[in-house]
Structure formats: structure tokens, C-alpha cells
Amino acid sequence: MNNEPSLLDTFFEECEDLIIALSDGLTEMRDGQADNETINAVFRAVHSIKGAAGAFALDDLVNFAHKFETVLDDVRAQRLAPDDSLLRTLQRAGDMLADLVDNARNATPANRALVDPVLAELQAFLGPEEDTATDEFVFEPMSLDLGGQDDTSPVYRISFTPGRTFYALGHDPLLLILAIQDLGPTEICVTANDLPNNFSNLHWDDGYLTWTITLSGPVSDLPIREIFQFVDDLCDLRIENNECAPFAQTTFPDHPPQPEPESGPTTDAPQRGLKDEQAERTAIKPTTTLRVDPERIDRLINAVGELIINQSVISQRLQEAALPNSSELFADLDDYKLLAREIQEGVMAIRAQPVKPLFQRMLRIAREASDATGKSVVLITEGETTEVDKTVIERLADPLTHMIRNAIDHGIESPEKRIKSGKAQQGIIRLSASQRSGSIVIEIADDGAGLNRPQIRDTAIKKGLIADDTILSDQEIDQLLFAPGFSTAAEVTNLSGRGVGMDVVKTTITGLGGRVAISTVPGRGTTFSITLPLTLAVMDGMIINVSGQTMVVPITNILETIRPSQTDLSKIGLNNDLLRIRGDYVPIIDLAERLGHAPPGRPLTDRVLLLIQTESIAQCALAVDDIYDQRQVVVKSLQGNYGYILGVSGATILGDGKIALIIDPEAITNTTSVQSQIAQPTEGGRSYVAA
Amino acid sequence: MSPPDENTQGTQLEFVTLVAGGQNFCIEITQIREIRRWSPVTILPHSPSHVLGVINLRGAVIPIIDLAAKLGFDRISPTERHVIIITAIEDRIVGLLVESVSEILGVRSDMVRETPRSPDDTTMRAILGVIAVGDDMTKVINLSTLLTNSEPVAA
């Protein structure tokens, strides 16, 4: 119809949604939760892709979708029972369909070697006699039982009022009417009731005409809807079946709502009609969404960041101005702060997206990995609605892929072994996301054999990562997995080979301000948990002074601040100070020393201790020189222009325009222990720590 | 960003000449965003000696590198009179501390000579070519080599 590139783009965007719906439905079918509506939704998704692909002459896609759809139709009509092998084939077909859409988008030819076996599998379920159907789909009438009520009534009344955008996009009502005439004998009448009485009110680019077409002929309403498929959100369209009294509203899934380039007052009525239709189309598009260029959001986020910095500049200036405390300015300033925070939260919420699409990609990764290894594995996803910053989602894809593959390749045992150790033959991997007090936690838990610590240790020794007489605790051995240059049996199996090791996983997560932790129970499985900050852009921080440098410590890590008296302090050995707090002893870490700054030479009693808690250690006290303030800071990355600095998670800009580094308490408290031990022997590892 | 191409003879190029470590250097003008006076930096922990720290450039965090130290000369002890050249290399923005900036030099690309071969040292590797200016000469700094290899390996 209209081969504008923008329309093609819309098609691909729509395909993404459809493929998610498809994948959703297939997962439900796999889990045995599917009802008829699910199967219908899957069918509609495939059918919509096929329909639109046909209009763009994407033949590979159309042929494949057709075959897929035919099988689904049989499932829907209960001619085929959804048993295991069929479901597996459907899953594979779903993956393949996604691939073909990608191929079409990138204008690369489909890989026949991959497509044909899946086509053959689908064909196997159809039996041989269906072959002729393959080429049936051209952009022409085709009788496909979709509504169930079509056979009874041969007369349709089509009422069609194009809106302003219809004409603005260059559509021609005549072409549509001609296409309808091709379907059968028609009676056409046009009404101009909407024309304004006073012609000076006439907008030249608006639509005022309504065509009413009476079509008789042995057709269902499907071909009519296909004619209007690309314009029915641009015009007020009613297709009425004369034998069935009420309006048959468009239920055929079509374009998602597009942001209208403009909408004049006169197009209001068609728009309202459109909204009603959307409400009925819930089967495929559960939520009405707005597509926004991410760049616009980024601009907004930057502006909000500047707003918050500006707010701290103003509050600093006000304090310097020595106004009387009763001044109402301070109350106004507080309002300003609250508003700024509200705006910031709102903007961040725009960027937040559910992890669902990411998890769905993992379902596929797991399927492929289990096929490749010959292990039977099911991936169960939980907390798919958890929302995470878009950037985080994008950057998590590679690490998660790697970890899922690892879990299947190394974590889950072979079926024979599993049976021998009394487990179900099918391995289970749980991928879950949840929100825990200011952080997002993503866990990948397998029920496999657990980490083989002696083997990890041997490998590390063999690769020269540790000396062979190093004594390591269990946790330290686990951490070896993340050491650069470490990789277990990876080379041997055909699963890896992407050159991504666990060290890259860790670097990526650290780059996002997150952490990875491992817990493993021999014989019972291994859990990797990734903890990520809720937002990347803003956090609450304590502004501190360390050797004359202003720095920020995240509030989430700080339990309390203490000004110690001499009796609270004691020493172990020469340099290790301990703080006694409520009967417990916690180690004191001098932040200045840890960051390589000159020690201030002030006694601890003259300094402030921040009692902090992190994932890896219970508690410890960071010695800093002064505490200035507690406020919201905008996190700026150092990675882009500089690189990773151990112990520093980013930087922020203070009210006076100076930069303050944001401390990563986790990394600070960990520096002496495992990391330096692992890193020292290799040159690469060394630079990781020291650089 | 790209080295002056010998094949496209006669293309007009513009360079900003500067002094670092007492010697003349220049940087292609398209790589330079702006030139600022020195202002105090925020020190970065665990950084190599040529990295002075970071500054706030209208909301962006920009690392400042002592060009003299980077090229193997003595470190500059920055004062108000020193100058920071803000450069853009690929996606990164980096500030270079230099002793002074002199002028804009317009030359044809065929006037940029290949660097004479000499023992490989830090300075030589970062030089793209030389330009004769009257009796003197100035060296074209290859920012990509200078900065991509230098920056802390982020593992």
C-alpha cells in the first residue's frame, strides 16, 4: 500500500510488541496455564505479523508465519494436542519468527539452514496435504475463520470517514473504495453532513466526507479489514454486518496507537472512536504506551540533574547570605527541594522499564543452551514486572546471557548424574528480580551441583592466578571465578566462545554501580545475586571531607555516624584500629589512606567515624575528617571520559561547582582482602587494582 | 582525529600551537572544543602521575591530564597562567594542561611531514608528524594514541 520507510519502522516496532505477546503466550502454554484466550493471542500475534509482512512483501517472513499460524490454528481448533514435542516446536518457531523479523529489519537474507528445519518440523505436525497453502497469502481476500460469525451474513455496510491525518499522510479514499469494489458488488453513497454551513470555517486539509458502502458478496469481514488495516487508526471506520444488528467493532489487531503528528479540533470525533476501539484491543496490547525517543528523556534527565545542582547552589548561597532564620525563603527553599525531588523521581520513572523483555530473551538463551548441551533445563522467571532503569536493562543482557549459559553448562549436571543423586532429571534455573530497599536484586539460582571449589582452586593455580600454597577461604575461592583470566571448562564446550568471562560480567555490573555475590551449597546448587542501584542518576549522599577533598558516601550504606571517645577505640597490632560499639568490635578503615591521600595526622578522636554496612561485610567504620551535609546528589559517571577507579563509583557536582567523588563503600572495604590477593600475580590483574 | 592524509595534497588544515615541557607542539583544531584558564581540580585516587584530577565543565566531569608529564617531561606545577585545552577524542572529552597556547597555524596537508624515525620513546609515539614553521618546527600530537593507550585500564 504505502511503502514509506517510516511505516516499515512502525511495523517493526509493532512486531517487537507482538513477539513479546507471542513469547508470553508460548511460555504460558509451556507452563500449562494456557486457556483458549492465550492460544488465540498467540495466533493473533503471528497472524498480525504475517498480515503486515505481506504488505511489505517480506516473503520469508510471510511464508514462515503462515506455516506457524496454520499449526497454531490447528491447536486452537483442538485438532492438535499441545504435547511436549509440539510445544518445543512452537517455541523454536517463535524464536525463528523473531529472527526472521530481525533479518527483515536489517535487510539480511534469512538463514535457510536454520529456517528450513523448523519449517519442516511445523510441517510434520500438519501432515502432507497442507502444502498448497504455503503460497496462499498474497494481499488478497482470504477466508480465515477469525470471528466465528462470518459465514451467516453476506452483506456489509462500511461507513468510513477519513480524518485530517489520513489525508496528510497521502492516503487516497478512492484506492480503498476501488479495493472494496474488487470484493463484490457495492453500493456507495457519500454524505457531506459535516461540512460547515459557513464555508469560511472550512479547513482545506480536513476531512468532511463520509462514505457509506454497502457490499454484498460471499466474503467474511476479514478482507475488508485488511484493506483498511493501515488506515483504520486514521479514520472513523465502522464495519457493520447487516444480518447482525450491532456494530462489529474492529477487533482485528492492527497498528498500535501512534503519536498523532497533529490533531485539529475537527478530528476529535474520530479520535474518540479510536479510543473505544483501543479499549477493546486489550488482548494484544495490554497497556497504552507512548513511544518516545530515548534521547528526549535523556535530555530531560540531564536538565533535572542540573536543576538539582542548581538547587544546591541556591541553598548554599542562601546560607552564605546570613539571612535571619525566620526568613520565609527557607520554607520556599524546602518546597523547591521537594519539587525538584518529585520531578526527578517522575523522570526516572519514565526511564524505568520492566525486566520482562530481558527475561524473555533469557528464556530463549536457556532453551538454546539446553539444546546445545543435551541437558534438560527449565528457566523459571520471577518478578518480571520489577522496573529497572533502561540503561541497566540494556547493559545487563550480556552478563545475564553469560551467567545463564554458565549455569546450564557448568551448574546443572547431566541428566544421568542428576538421577543418580536423586534429583529430577530436569534442571531448574530460577531467574528472579526484586526490589529491596533502594536496590534491585537479580538472582540466578540453579539447582545443580554447586561450585566445585577444589577444581576452581586448581584452575586458578594452573593459570597462575594464585600461588599453589595460597590459603583461601571458601568465599575467596568463589571470588576467583571473577578474576581476570579465569574461566573454567569454558573452552571445551561449544556454548561459550563469545569471549565473555565472569570477570567481564563483574566489570559490567560494577560499571553500573552494582555488585555480584555468589552463594553455593555443594550438591544443591549455586546462586548468583546481582545488586544494582535503583536509579543511576541521583542518590542521597553524606558530604564528607577526606584530607581536604570533599567526597560523598551513599546514605544507604551508612548506619550511623560516631565521634569516638578514647575509650571506644582499641588497637590490634600496629595499624589496625577497632571501634567498640554496643559491645561489638568493628574494624576502622581510614578512608584517606585507602584512597592514597596523605593521612591527615589527626587523632581518631578528633575525626568522625561512619559506621557502614555492605553486602560482603557485616559492619565497619570509615574514618573521615568532617561531615558537612547530607543531600541529594547527581551521579556523574567517570567511566566515559576517564575510567574505573577502585573505591569510587562516580562523581557529583557540588553547590560551588566543584566535583566531589562518590565513594563505593563496598569496594573500599574489599580492597585489601580478596581482590589484591588475586590480582597481584598477573600484570593485567595488577593494573585493574592499581590503575 | 584522522592523521593528515598524504594523498589529499593541498587540503587546508588548521592547528593550534602550544608549549608543553618547553617544546612546541600542535593539535588539529577540529579536535579542540575550547581553551580555558587553569582552575583547581578534584584529585582522583590511585591515578597515574600525569592525571591531575577532574574538573566540572558545565555539568560534565572532565579528566585533566598534564600534557608535559604525559609526553615524558617534568610535571607542570599549574598556576593561574597555565592553560587547559579541552579536546574531544572519539567519544571522550579530556582536558590537557599545557604551559601556553600560541597561535592558530594554517598549513596545507602536504606540509605535514612524516615524523623522522628515531629511537622509540614516549614522546615519539604520540607524534603524528612535524610541520616546519619558519626556522622552527612544531610537532602534531596524535591525541588518539596519546590518550587511548594512556588512560587507566578499566580492566
pLDDT band at A580 (very low <50, low <70, confident <90, very high): confident
Residue A33 grid coordinates: 496455564
pLDDT of residue A117: 82
Angstroms from A672 CA to nearest CA on chain B: 14
Residue A262 grid coordinates: 497533529
How far are the Cα atoms of A27, A121, A363, A602, A643 from residue A92, in angstroms, in the given order? Answer: 12, 10, 11, 67, 41
Closest to A643 (Cβ–Cβ): which among B41, B42, B152?
Answer: B152
Dump pLDDT digits (tens) for A426-459: 889 999 998 876 678 899 998 888 888 888 888 8
- pLDDT reading at A633 higher than 50: yes
Query: Which residues of chain B are at the A interface, by a Cβ-Cβ cutoff of 8 Å?
Result: 40-48, 51, 54-56, 59-63, 91-94, 151-155
Angstroms from B33 CA to nearest CA on chain A: 14
- pLDDT reading at A1 higher than 60: no
Query: CA A29 to CA A300: how far, in whole Å?
Result: 41
Query: Is the CB of B61 less than 8 angstroms away from the CB of A641?
Result: yes
Dump pLDDT digits (tens) for A352-362: 888 888 898 88
Query: Is the CB of A661 less than 8 angstroms away from the CB of B60?
Result: no
Query: Is the CB of A657 less than 8 angstroms away from the CB of B56?
Result: yes
Q: What percent of chain B is modeled with pLDDT above 70? A: 84
In chain B, which residues have their Cβ closer than 8 Å to the Cβ of A641? 60-63, 92-94
In chain A, which residues have their Cβ closer than 8 Å to the Cβ of B62? 641
Query: CA A660 to CA A134: how far, in whole Å?
Result: 65
8 Å CB contact between A597 and A645: no
Angstroms from A431 CA to nearest CA on chain B: 27
In chain A, which residues have their Cβ closer than 8 Å to the Cβ of B51? 642
In chain B, which residues have their Cβ closer than 8 Å to the Cβ of A644? 152, 154-155
Closest to A661 (Cβ–Cβ): which among B42, B59, B62?
Answer: B42
What is the DSSP secondary structure assignment for residue A645, as one 8-state letter? B
Residue type, B18: L
What is the DSSP secondary structure assignment for residue A334, as one 8-state letter? H
B147, closest residue in chain A (CA to CA): A642
Closest to A596 (Cβ–Cβ): which among B40, B45, B154?
Answer: B45
Query: Is the CB of A507 less than 8 angstroms away from the CB of B154?
Result: yes
Closest to A691 (Cβ–Cβ): which among B61, B62, B153?
Answer: B153
What architecture is the B12-148 domain classified under in CATH? Beta Barrel (2.40)
8 Å CB contact between A407 and A442: no
Task: Give B17 or A573, the one with higher predicted confidence.
Answer: B17
Q: Does domain A5-135 have CATH number 3.40.920.10?
A: no
Task: Give A82 or A91, the one with higher predicted confidence.
Answer: A91
pLDDT of residue B80: 85
Query: CA A273 to CA A233: how far, in whole Å?
Result: 9
Query: CA A399 to CA B103: how far, in whole Å?
Result: 49
Q: A30-34, A258-262, A434-438: lowest mean pLDDT where?
A: A258-262
8 Å CB contact between A579 and A562: yes
Closest to A688 (Cβ–Cβ): which among B42, B62, B155?
Answer: B155
8 Å CB contact between B82 and B4: no
Q: List the one residue out of A539, A346, A517 whose CA is nearest residue A438.
A: A539
pLDDT of residue B101: 92
Query: Is the CB of A659 less than 8 angstroms away from the CB of B92?
Result: no
- Put simply, whether the predicted model's pTM sits higher than 0.80 gets the answer no
Q: List the one residue out of A628, A557, A568, A555 whose CA is nearest residue A603.
A: A568
- Interchain contact A673–B (C-beta under 8 A): no
Residues 607-646 of chain A whose Cβ lies under 8 A from any Cβ of chain B: 636-646
pLDDT of residue B155: 31
* Average pLDDT of every residue of chain A: 75
pLDDT of residue A102: 83
In chain A, which residues have their Cβ closer than 8 Å to the Cβ of B151? 642-643
Give domain limits for chain B. 12-148
Residue located via cell numbers 615519539? B124
Q: Does domain A538-690 have CATH number 2.30.30.40?
A: yes
- pLDDT reading at A286 higher than 80: no
pLDDT of residue A275: 45
A305, closest residue in chain B (CA to CA): B59
pLDDT of residue A510: 76
Size of interface A-B (CB pairs under 8 A): 95
Mean pLDDT, residues A231-254: 59
Collect all residues with Cβ–Cβ distance below 8 Å to B129 and sequence separation of at least 6: B3, B4, B112, B113, B114, B115, B139, B140
pLDDT of residue B9: 54
pLDDT of residue B97: 94
pLDDT of residue A218: 55
Mean pLDDT, residues B43-57: 87
Dump pLDDT digits (tens) for A654-682: 877 788 999 888 778 776 543 333 333 33
Host H or E run for residue A679: helix A676-679
B148, closest residue in chain A (CA to CA): A642
- Interchain contact A658–B (C-beta under 8 A): yes
Angstroms from B74 CA to nearest CA on chain A: 21
Mutate to test the interface with A, among B41, B43, B49, B61 (most CBs of A within 10 A): B61
Residues 288-307 of chain A whose Cβ lies under 8 A from any Cβ of chain B: 302, 305-306
pLDDT of residue A37: 79
Mean pLDDT, residues A640-648: 80
8 Å CB contact between A216 and A154: yes
Mean pLDDT, residues A117-143: 61
Angstroms from A80 CA to nearest CA on chain B: 54
Q: List the one residue out of B131, B125, B122, B60 whose CA is nearest residue B95.
A: B60
Percent of chain A that is helix, strand, coil (3-state, to 5): 45, 20, 35
Query: Is the CB of A687 less than 8 angstroms away from the CB of B46?
Result: no
Secondary structure of residue A271 in the 3-state scheme: helix
Angstroms from A553 CA to nearest CA on chain B: 15
Dump pLDDT digits (tens) for A333-378: 888 888 888 887 788 778 788 888 889 888 888 888 888 888 888 8
pLDDT of residue A273: 45
- pLDDT reading at A259 higher than 80: no
Q: Does domain A355-533 have CATH number 1.10.10.10?
A: no
How far are the Cα atoms of A163, A165, A182, A235, A656 from residue A271, in angstroms, in the given order? Answer: 9, 11, 29, 8, 51
Dump pLDDT digits (tens) for A468-503: 777 777 877 887 888 777 765 444 444 444 445 777
Query: Is the CB of A643 less than 8 angstroms away from the CB of B154?
Result: yes
Query: Is the CB of A484 less than 8 angstroms away from the CB of B155?
Result: yes
Host H or E run for residue A94: helix A84-106
Dump pLDDT digits (tens) for A144-180: 444 444 444 467 778 878 877 777 777 777 877 887 7
Query: CA B147 to CA A61: how far, in whole Å?
Result: 47
- pLDDT reading at B54 higher than 80: yes
Query: CA B48 to CA A467: how far, in whole Å?
Result: 28
- CATH code at A150-280: 3.30.70
What is the DSSP secondary structure assignment for residue A200, as one 8-state letter? G
Distance of CA A463 to the CA centre of its chain: 36
pLDDT of residue A168: 77
Query: CA A225 to CA A220: how far, in whole Å?
Result: 10
Dump pLDDT digits (tens) for A50-68: 877 877 778 888 888 888 8
In chain B, which residues have their Cβ closer than 8 Å to the Cβ of A642? 44, 51, 54, 61, 63, 151-152
Dump pLDDT digits (tens) for A170-213: 777 787 788 777 777 777 888 777 777 777 777 777 777 888 88
Calculate the dihedral angle through the C-alpha atoms of B42, B43, B45, B48, rounding to the nearest 10 degrees. Answer: 130
Query: CA A635 to CA A632: how far, in whole Å?
Result: 10
Give domain limits for chain A. 5-135, 150-280, 294-352, 355-533, 538-690
Angstroms from A306 CA to nearest CA on chain B: 7
pLDDT of residue A334: 85
Residue A591 grid coordinates: 578512608
Query: Is the CB of B62 less than 8 angstroms away from the CB of A641?
Result: yes
Query: Is the CB of A691 less than 8 angstroms away from the CB of B48?
Result: yes
Phi, psi of A539 (to 5 degrees): -150, 165
Residues 450-509 of chain A whose Cβ lies under 8 A from any Cβ of chain B: 484, 503, 507
